[in-house]
Amino acid sequence: MPDFSPTCSEAECGVKANTVRKVLKERQKIQTMIHTINYSVVLSELLANFLPNPTFRFASCGAEIAHPFGTSTEH
């Protein structure tokens, strides 16, 4: 019967070094993608907060008046 104790060697347990490296490499790729997405979302939210949207105007009462595609309600 095979020995599955923590002291058994990799060869005895059926673990190959190439398999471990491949798993770690894929994990690093996934973590990099997650970090990239997180930074992209944060930066896009910052830009949206600092840059005014020219298609919206505010009335004196505080209500938003939408001007889609920059159209005006004045004739």
What are the tens digits of pLDDT across the range 38-73? 766 666 676 666 666 555 555 666 565 555 555 555
User: What type of residue sits at position 5?
Assistant: S
CB 4 within 8 A of CB 12: no
CB 63 within 8 A of CB 70: no
Q: In whole numbers, what is the pLDDT of the chain averaged over residues?
A: 64
Strand partners, 29: none
Domain boundaries defined on the chain = 10-70
Encode burial over 25-37: b for 16+ CB neighbours within 10 A, e otherwise.
eeeeeeeeeeeee
* Per-residue model confidence (pLDDT) at position 26: 77
- C-alpha count within 13 angstroms, C-beta hemisphere, residue 24: 6
* Per-residue model confidence (pLDDT) at position 37: 72
- Regarding pTM above 0.95, the answer is no
